[in-house]
Each structure stands twice: as C-alpha cells, then as structure tokens.
C-alpha cells in the first residue's frame, strides 16, 4: 500500500509518502513541506497548498491519502487555517478518486510511539527508526506527515475488517427484518 500522509497547515503543510504493509518493513518514498508566505492572501495560500499536493499526487500516485483530523484548539485562527488546508488535501484526493482516511493526532502518536501523548521529538525519533532514516525529517510537520502514513498502513487492515463486520451485521439485521 502506498500512502500520502498530509499534516495540514497553511504556513507549512507536511507531506510524506510511505509504502508497505502491516507487519513488514516500510519504505519512505518522499517527504517534504508545502510552504506558503504568511503575508500572502488566504486564497493564494490555499491555491499554493493545492498545487503542492497535486504535485505530490502526480509524482507518487498514492492509493490512499491519510490526513490529520482537525481537532479543537484554543487559537481559532490556527484551527481555521488547519481545517482549510485539510479540506484542500481531501478535495485533491477526491478529485482523483483516491480514498481519504482521517486520523486524530493521538491515534497517530499511539500508532508510532505506543502512547497517544507523545511529543513531537518522540514521534520524529520513532519515524526515523521505523523508516530506517539517518536523521529525523525536518521540520516536524514532515515527520508528522510520515507518521500519518505509517499509522494508516498499520491501522488499515483492522479498520477494513471492522468495516466488513459492520457491513455483514447490517445485511444480516436487514434480512432478519424482511423475513
């Protein structure tokens, strides 16, 4: 499975591509950051994020795009920018028919470090170790994007089994009502 992880942000939108399957060594195919100027008009910043993500999609052809689920923060301005960048990433994927998976920051941290309360340094260290890199990706947004991709690769099999079980239960429950 090839996953493009997106750590959404207006100033720095982390992007990283990881390939592999759960239970096997993973391979990083690319990592970077889509940057926008803080003083640029919001519409131009969103356009720059869109163009950057489109380039990553063109170059790496992921099967899934994993995006960090926006969570409530005290700074409304920050959460709005994050939500807008997140929406751009989801739109780019949807336009191409690529499935989008959303993961919360605590899910990602727990998947790669074993604790949902890990700090950025711990996430960076584990991403470095799991992908056999010589140094942690910088800035932290890039490491977070790789962590999102890793999280999705590891969680997807269990999520798929759960979705299939729910679908079977729904079908069986529906059959029981119509019989």
pLDDT of residue 3: 98
* CB proximity list for 179: less than 8 A, separation 6 or greater: none
pLDDT of residue 72: 67
Residue pointed to by tokens 């099999």: 157
What are the CA-CA distances from residue 130 to residues 32, 113, 134, 149 (Å)? 18, 10, 11, 12
Work out the percent of the chain whose per-residue pLDDT is above 90: 79
**107 given a catalytic annotation:** no
Residue pointed to by tokens 């979705």: 163
Q: How many residues does the chain have?
A: 179
What are the CA-CA distances from residue 134 to residues 16, 62, 128, 141 (Å)? 16, 24, 7, 18
pLDDT of residue 92: 98
pTM exceeds cut of 0.85: yes
* Geometric angle at alpha carbon 28, from 22 and 33, rounded to 5°: 125
Q: Which of 19, 59, 68, 144 is catalytic?
A: 68
**68 given a catalytic annotation:** yes
């Amino acid at each position: 499975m090839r996953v493009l992880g997106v750590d959404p942000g207006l100033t720095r939108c982390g992007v990283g591509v990881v390939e592999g399957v759960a239970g096997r060594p993973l391979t990083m195919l690319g990592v970077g950051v889509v940057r926008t100027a803080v003083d640029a008009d919001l519409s131009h910043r969103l356009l720059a994020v869109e163009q950057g993500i489109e380039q990553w999609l063109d170059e790496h052809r992921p099967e899934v795009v994993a995006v960090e689920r926006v969570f409530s923060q005290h700074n409304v301005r920050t959460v709005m920018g994050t939500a807008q960048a997140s929406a751009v990433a989801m739109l780019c994927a949807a336009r191409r028919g690529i499935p989008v998976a959303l993961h919360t920051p605590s899910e990602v941290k727990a998947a790669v470090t074993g604790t949902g309360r890990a700090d950025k340094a711990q996430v960076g260290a584990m991403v470095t170790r799991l992908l056999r890199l010589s140094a942690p990706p910088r800035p932290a947004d890039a490491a977070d994007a790789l962590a999102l991709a890793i999280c999705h690769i590891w969680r997807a099999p269990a999520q798929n089994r759960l979705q299939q079980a729910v679908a079977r239960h729904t079908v069986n429950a529906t059959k029981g009502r119509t019989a």
